[in-house]
Each structure stands twice: as structure tokens, then as C-alpha cells.
């Protein structure tokens, strides 16, 4: 049973370095996950890989079956979730092509299914939503590899599928460093299930606060250019992951009775 889950796009799945063992497509109380879960090995480490947006059925960010995804990974035995994603920069010093190891999020989504606790009154504490241990592992690898990175970054999550208006982008700059569409509720659900969560975010654009128009082609093009270093980061970092035992990552689950 894999302890490590990787959630990302098609490019993150590299058949040249991923040794496939089996494919599973489990049922969950919340329906099917967004795609088959590929169980295999990267650099000798057993992992479960899931395409967040699907391959046969495309899921835009506001329609991703987040609850089914996280539940399925937990049922497979995963303890660590590593998310690879593309984001926009809200600050000049967070440059296009840089890696951001996220440490906080601000939720500006509007209509998502956020929690497993819809049938009882539960208040969940999640002051440190990202795993400090996993963040430290990948910071060490990024430093060794000479990858331009930021240790820590405040990620504002918006509903999508549209990008920000210029007025919104100016507002978000006041309290966040990067902007994306997928970390919520994925990170929160991981916390409810007692899984450690790490977001490796690649900056692909400057949102709309600069004098450029952001479109999906720009995001895909920049992500493709940065893909090799993300793959190498994973290949070098995965073998270093051991038992973290961090109470921060399971505190929410214990507090609400999930563990």
C-alpha cells in the first residue's frame, strides 16, 4: 500500500520514470475519483498518482470531485499528499518559473463541497494547513538542485474557471503571494482525514495585475517549460520522505473525531 500520493496534471505523470504496478478506480461514498489511480514506483518509492482534472472526463477546477479523490487516496493507505500545481504570481519577487513551497492559503472560492462533516456540528482547527516536514524535505532538494524557489507563500484560491479581474488581482496582492484554483478544498480535506499535505506550486504568470493578459495557453506553455525540474524534484525528494509524526497534520482529524 503506497504511503505517498501525488496529485497533478498529465505532464507530472512521466512513463519514463514511473514504474506502473496497477490501476485502481475505486468507488467511494462520494462517487468515483477524477480518474484511475495509478499505483507504481518513482525512484524506487511506491506512490499513488492521480490526475486531478481527469484524462477521459475533464474536470474544471470548480468541478473536481475533491472529496472522492481524497477519500480514495486515504483508503489506499496514503499518509502524505504531494500536490503539483500551476499558480499566478501576485508579487514582483515571485517570478515566473519559480517554485513556491506553499505554507498558507486564503479561501476565496464560492460553491465547493468543502468538508466531510455535513451531518454533524464540527469545527475544525487548521492553523498550519501544510506539512512543515514535507515542505522541509522539498526545500532541501530545491536548494541542492539550484532551483529558484520560495520557502513559504500565501496561496489565495479562487473559484475559477475564469482568471481574476484587474481589480480583484490588486485586492489579492494585499494579502497573498500567489493565486490558483485547486488547493481548496483539497488541502482542507486532507487535514480532515489526517493526511499530511504539501503543495509544490510553479509560477506560470503574473495574474492580471501586470500589463499582460493571462490565458490558458500561457499557463500550459510555461508549465511545460518548468516540467523537467518538477519531475527531478519529485524523483530526488520522494526517497527522503520518512515518518514525520507531525501533530499539526493530524490535529484537525483528531479534533473532529475522524481519527
State the catalytic residues.
205, 207
Q: Which 3-state string (H, E, C) describes 18-85? A: EEEEEEECCCECCECCCCCEEEEEECCEEEEEEECCCCCCCCCCCCCCHHHHHHHHHHCCCCEEEEEE
**How long, in residues, is the chain?**
259
Distance, CA of 166 to CA of 172 (rounded, Å): 10
Q: Which of 115, 129, 105 is nearest to 189 (CA)?
A: 115
DSSP 3: S
Question: What residues contact 181, with CB distance under 8 A and at least 6 apart?
Answer: 61, 62, 157, 158, 159, 160, 161
Cell of 17: 520514470
Which helix (H) or strand (E) covers residue 247, if one does?
helix 247-255
Helix axes 66-75, 183-192, angle to 10 degrees: 40
Amino acid at each position: 500500500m503506497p504511503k505517498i500520493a501525488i496529485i497533478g496534471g498529465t505532464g507530472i505523470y512521466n512513463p519514463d520514470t514511473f514504474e506502473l504496478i496497477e490501476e485502481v478506480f475505486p468507488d467511494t461514498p462520494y462517487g468515483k475519483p477524477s480518474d484511475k489511480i495509478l499505483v507504481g514506483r518513482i525512484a524506487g518509492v511506491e506512490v499513488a498518482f492521480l490526475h486531478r482534472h481527469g484524462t477521459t472526463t475533464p474536470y474544471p477546477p470548480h468541478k473536481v470531485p475533491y472529496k472522492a479523490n481524497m477519500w480514495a487516496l486515504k483508503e489506499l493507505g496514503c499518509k502524505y499528499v504531494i500536490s503539483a500545481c500551476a499558480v499566478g504570481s501576485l508579487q514582483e519577487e515571485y517570478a515566473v518559473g519559480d517554485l513556491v513551497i506553499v505554507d498558507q492559503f486564503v479561501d476565496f472560492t464560492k460553491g465547493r463541497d468543502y468538508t466531510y462533516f455535513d451531518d454533524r456540528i464540527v469545527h475544525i482547527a487548521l492553523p498550519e494547513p501544510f506539512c512543515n516536514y514535507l515542505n522541509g524535505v522539498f526545500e532541501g532538494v530545491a536548494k541542492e538542485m539550484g532551483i529558484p524557489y520560495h520557502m513559504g507563500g500565501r496561496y489565495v484560491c479562487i473559484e475559477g474557471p475564469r482568471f481574476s479581474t484587474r481589480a480583484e488581482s490588486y485586492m489579492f496582492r494585499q494579502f497573498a503571494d500567489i493565486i490558483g484554483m485547486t488547493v481548496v478544498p483539497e488541502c482542507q480535506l486532507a487535514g480532515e482525514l489526517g493526511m499530511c499535505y504539501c503543495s509544490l506550486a510553479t509560477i506560470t504568470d503574473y495574474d492580471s495585475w501586470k500589463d499582460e493578459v493571462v490565458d490558458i495557453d500561457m499557463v500550459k506553455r510555461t508549465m511545460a517549460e518548468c516540467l523537467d525540474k518538477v519531475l527531478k524534484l519529485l524523483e530526488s525528494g520522494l526517497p527522503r520522505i520518512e515518518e514525520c509524526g507531525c501533530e499539526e497534520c493530524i490535529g484537525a482529524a483528531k479534533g473532529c473525531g475522524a481519527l
